[in-house]
Structure 1
Amino acid sequence: MYVYDEHDRQIAAERVAQFRDQTERALAGELSEEEFLPLRLQNGLYVQRLAPMLRICIPYGMLRSEQLRRLARITRDYDKGYAHFTTRTNLQLNWPNLEDVPDILGELAEVEMHANQTSGNCIRNTTTDPFSGVQVDEIADPRPYCEIIRQWSTFHPEFAFLPRKFKIAVNASEKTDRAAIRVHDIGLQLTRNDQGELGFKVHVGGGLGRTPMVGPVIREFLPELDLLTYLEAIVRVYNRYGRRDNKFKARIKILVKALSPEGFAEKVENEWAHIKNSPSRLTQDVVTRFQSYFTEPAYETLTNATDLLASQRFENREFDKWLTHNVNEHKKPGYAIVTLTLKKTGTPPGDVTDVQLEQIAELADEYSYGEARATHEQNIVLADVRQDRLHELWQKLIPLGFATANLNTLNDVICCPGGDFCALANAKSIPVAEAIQRRFDNLDYLYDLGPIDLNISGCMNACGHHHVGNIGVLGVDKKGEEFYQISLGGSSHHDATIGKILGPSFARNEMPDVISKLINVYVENRTEEETFLDTYRRVGLDPFKERVYA
């Protein structure tokens, strides 16, 4: 993974010193809250319902074990001993003291981490598939391009105060999309043209929130070396024409819709014509240099442990379940990709304690070359595990709470912190997630249901991506009471769609029963090969609506 050079270290140190001065002046009353607001936001600091919240950047989800240990110590020393992984693969501290934040940033800089641009109206953390570099069907490793975008976008003076926040994601598999690129401001799909040349299909104008949209394609093929100049053209057009008079209409998706995808693309092409051959254009030497930061670990020459795993699966049904649901194929013979679930029932989705962060670091050192990866689904990946050590690893995961074999099931809930922490939330998310998980606590039944994406957000900002859940849950306020609106049929994958609202909202105590009724309709109507989303798309909204509101 990328390692800081002397320029990175200098920039990080200067940023910490700058924010320390700004914080001291704010605490002394020399900066007003209005003046301090954009400064703290671009350093990842929010003021939440009960305390400040610091969002720590994890570029494209990659973490070294030493970074995990430092995060554990920060969580223990400066917070209440737990933190939260978000859908952008960042880590949030929910209880830091304002005066301690510069010290936290200083500690992060020591292990090559930061909180730069994790909030504010700027280009935020670029994300990608957590299986990048190891998945079998990958067109090319997307992480070098993510790092190129990170370095280009960080502290870019032209893009420091955009009309609204801006998010970019990159995907490299033609079969799966674990980065949800179609619901980003810019989504990049690595591809090859008819001549075999590497490039990107460019989606622009996706996003969730109050006006959810799937990003249309504005360019079918962008040559690899034109990546930065084309991105610059897109953001320039947005910066010039995006609305600043109404924050609810300021995202690039509104501009793309207003101009039409074709009209927006035309403006981008016109802008690009002026800068296409500027110094920002990539060279093959630059790309090669960035690719060198993501070299393979020292893999051993192994053969697939097929017979061993078959024997172990036969002898232990629980191991068989875990292997089926939490382990994926690796591009190297004899290795596997393992996902540690942070969705054990009773634990808020995505939450980890300081002790668990240290345990993940130990597991990464012992089983995965000292690296771990945070995922969009709020879990953790060990990307390079030997197949002949999978059973051993699984046994260690059980007492740590990471072995729940519920990936891609109804209980693998994506969930924002909601009203327990967030000042913007209309309702709590965590108790609803737990109530649903407890209702559907039979893994065999979950496996029979097949893959179902359940996403929960506490407000219309959609940090839980409820719009693109097969079942989406949105917290709403009704005269001071917490209620929950249901949407069905969303997807964040290659077939990305926005879910349709089922109807009037429900009280919190009704939610497990409501979800049960929806699942019953699916079970009664599905064919043998259909998933929940397949059945919904075939039968439509009405059968679900009739059952729930009967």
Structure 2
Amino acid sequence: MYQYDEVDHRIVRERVAQFRDQTRRYLAGELSEDEFRPLRLMNGLYVQRHAPMLRVAIPYGHLRSGQLRKLADIARRYDKGYGHFTTRQNIQFNWPELARVPDILEELSTVEMHAIQTSGNCVRNTTTDAFAGVAGDELLDPRPWCEIIRQWSTLHPEFAFLPRKFKIAVSGSVEDRAATRVHDIGLHVVRNEAGEVGFRVMVGGGLGRTPIVGDVVKEFLPTPHLLTYLDAVLRVYNRFGRRDNKYKARIKILVKAMTVEGFAAKVEDEWLHIKGGPATLRDEDVAHYASFFTDPPYQALSASSEFAALLAQDKAFSRWAERNTRAHKRQGYRSVVLSLKRTGVPPGDISAEQMDAAAELADRFGFGELRVAHEQNLVLPDVPERDLHAVWQLARQHGFATPNIGLLTDIICCPGGDFCSLANARSIPVAEAIQRTFEDMDYLYDLGDIDCNFSGCMNACGHHHIGNIGILGVDKNGEEWYQITLGGSQGSATSIGKVIGPSFAQADVPKAFTTIMGVYLEQRGAGERFIETVRRIGLDPFKERVYAKHH
């Protein structure tokens, strides 16, 4: 994992001192609300429905056990004893007291963490695959490249006030597990005909009010030119992106207005001036950052016969191992997903006690490292197979072991109207009602892989457009209603879901889900997943049945 040098430490310390003074002046009435707003946003501080919300950066989802323990300590002492993991691999605290936020930032600085650029019109946290570095289908470990992008983008003077927020995702694997196609820039590692490794660059993806799948602007970008090309893309956006209308300010709108070809041509023109310049990455630069992401001291393990025997004799353990663990690049190891989707708990929420327990699991059964997944779960990347049964038992004790990863109840969900002042509707109680409706694990397993994504408003923080089933909270005359979409997906075949018809009252959403699942079970072909059935038969059979029953 990346380690701070003295420059990093100094920047973060100085930022904390600066914000402490800004907060003091605001509370003393020396700064107005309008003057303080950009200052707090630069430090990840929002004003929510009931209290401030502090979003802490977790670069590309990487956490050391000591950092997670510090987050647990902050949750206990400065908040209400829990945090919330987001789809961008960060953590949010929903109840800090404004006057104490500088103290929280100072505490974070002691474990090499901060909240810089977690909000505002700048380049946000670069995200990647939660299984980066351990996945078997990896062409290139994306983490050094994420760190290079982080170093380049943090406090970049040219890109501190972009037309709108800007998000970059990197995937180093054959399978795209980082939703790169719905980011402002998506970088997907590819190999060209000469066998060289580089990036396919996609620009203009994004969800929100206008969901768009990004377009390829460069099929193959050699790795030394990554930063100069990113500079060129951001410069074109900074110059031509709209600032007169925040709803039309994202790069996706600019790309559509210019056409992909027109936008790519502008980028190439800009790139000509800086290609090969000082930001070109030398081999020694890449080697420096790669040195922070070397393999831990793995043991030479053979397949565990004890593990195989336990799988055969314990159905509950076998079910958990099937859904909540993943193949690893090293024999005898697996990656474990700790589910934060237990029924009755808001998806993505984690208590201070669970943070401490997860840190303990990482120290005892791994190498003291954890990952935050885009799906709002936690990952232990390196667990010996022989230890999986012990990990499972401890995970059960701490509410981490719901065997539902990839299933309908593993819902991606924003905090919604319970917290967010932008939300049109609450998401947490509806997500819980869906989870309760599908609590029968045998039925859930029969339904198989289904991505369910939920957003409380058009900002789409829950990525509802790319859920196989998506839910969007809408406001109708001051009442909360819910729109359902079908057919969305992420990964290599990213697609935007389509609305099936009029929205539903809160109480009717679980019933609609039950009807949709009934149609799927009737119509599916042998071995067909839900998304495949939807694509084959279209939306009409689902629409007809749902609205016959509910309208």
User: Normalising to structure 1: TM-score of the pair?
Assistant: 0.99
Secondary structure, counterpart of 2:226 in structure 1: helix
Secondary structure, counterpart of 1:20 in structure 2: helix
Secondary structure, counterpart of 1:459 in structure 2: coil
How big is each residue's C-alpha offset from its partner over 1:409-436, in whole Å with a ceiling of 9 and x where there is no partner? 0000000000000000000000010000
Work out whether 1:434 is the aligned partner of 2:443: no
Aligned match of 1:461: 459
Secondary structure, counterpart of 2:177 in structure 1: coil
How big is each residue's C-alpha offset from its partner over 1:6-28, in whole Å with a ceiling of 9 and x where there is no partner? 11000000110111111111111
How big is each residue's C-alpha offset from its partner over 1:38-71, in whole Å with a ceiling of 9 and x where there is no partner? 1111110000000000000000100001101100
Work out whether 1:256 is the aligned partner of 2:255: yes
Aligned match of 2:492: 494
2:390 and 2:79 mapped to 1: Cα distance?
Answer: 33
Aligned match of 2:184: 185
Shift of residue 309 of structure 1?
A: 2.1
Matches within 5 A, 1:73-92: 73-92=73-92
Aligned match of 1:29: 29
Aligned match of 1:286: 285
Aligned match of 1:474: 472
Work out whether 1:6 is the aligned partner of 2:11: no
Aligned match of 2:386: 388
Shift of residue 491 of structure 1?
A: 0.7
2:313 and 2:84 mapped to 1: Cα distance?
Answer: 36
Shift of residue 525 of structure 1?
A: 0.8
For 1:132, give the aligned amino acid: A
Count of aligned positions: 548
Work out whether 1:220 is the aligned partner of 2:230: no
Shift of residue 198 of structure 1?
A: 1.4
Q: Percent identity?
A: 64
Matches within 5 A, 1:369-448: 369-448=367-446
Shift of residue 172 of structure 1?
A: 1.0
Aligned match of 1:542: 540
1:269 and 1:36 mapped to 2: Cα distance?
Answer: 38
Secondary structure, counterpart of 2:214 in structure 1: coil
Aligned match of 2:61: 61
For 2:406, give the aligned amino acid: N
For 2:411, give the aligned amino acid: V
How big is each residue's C-alpha offset from its partner over 1:49-94, in whole Å with a ceiling of 9 and x where there is no partner? 0000000000010000110110001011000101100000100000
Shift of residue 308 of structure 1?
A: 2.0
Which stretches of structure 1, 4 residues or longer, exceed 6 Å deviation after superposition? Answer: none
1:304 and 1:177 mapped to 2: Cα distance?
Answer: 28
Work out whether 1:102 is the aligned partner of 2:102: yes
2:410 and 2:280 mapped to 1: Cα distance?
Answer: 41
Shift of residue 206 of structure 1?
A: 0.3
Shift of residue 137 of structure 1?
A: 1.0
Shift of residue 492 of structure 1?
A: 1.5
Shift of residue 195 of structure 1?
A: 1.2
For 1:217, give the aligned amino acid: V
1:370 and 1:164 mapped to 2: Cα distance?
Answer: 36
2:369 and 2:39 mapped to 1: Cα distance?
Answer: 32
User: Normalising to structure 2: TM-score of the pair?
Assistant: 0.99
Shift of residue 302 of structure 1?
A: 1.1
How big is each residue's C-alpha offset from its partner over 1:322-356, in whole Å with a ceiling of 9 and x where there is no partner? 11111111111111111000001111100011111
2:514 and 2:176 mapped to 1: Cα distance?
Answer: 28
For 1:296, give the aligned amino acid: D
Secondary structure, counterpart of 1:222 in structure 2: strand
Work out whether 1:38 is the aligned partner of 2:38: yes
2:260 and 2:35 mapped to 1: Cα distance?
Answer: 36
For 2:280, give the aligned amino acid: R
Secondary structure, counterpart of 1:549 in structure 2: helix
Aligned match of 1:345: 343
Shift of residue 228 of structure 1?
A: 0.2
Shift of residue 310 of structure 1?
A: 2.0
Aligned match of 1:273: 272
Aligned match of 1:169: 169
Task: Please identify, of 523-532 and 45-54, the stretch whose mean Cα deviation from structure 2 is larger.
Answer: 523-532
Secondary structure, counterpart of 2:520 in structure 1: helix
For 1:351, give the aligned amino acid: D
2:35 and 2:495 mapped to 1: Cα distance?
Answer: 39
Aligned match of 2:111: 111
Shift of residue 385 of structure 1?
A: 0.3
Work out whether 1:140 is the aligned partner of 2:140: yes
Aligned match of 1:509: 507
How big is each residue's C-alpha offset from its partner over 1:160-203, in whole Å with a ceiling of 9 and x where there is no partner? 000000000000111x2221000000000011111111110000
For 1:497, give the aligned amino acid: S
Aligned match of 1:308: 306
Aligned match of 2:159: 159
For 2:46, give the aligned amino acid: Y
2:235 and 2:495 mapped to 1: Cα distance?
Answer: 28
RMSD (Å), alpha carbons: 0.7
Secondary structure, counterpart of 2:492 in structure 1: coil
Shift of residue 446 of structure 1?
A: 1.2
1:494 and 1:159 mapped to 2: Cα distance?
Answer: 29
Aligned match of 2:355: 357
For 1:458, give the aligned amino acid: G
Aligned match of 2:47: 47
Shift of residue 402 of structure 1?
A: 0.6
2:474 and 2:225 mapped to 1: Cα distance?
Answer: 43
How big is each residue's C-alpha offset from its partner over 1:502-538, in whole Å with a ceiling of 9 and x where there is no partner? 1110100111101111111111111012111101111
For 2:235, give the aligned amino acid: R
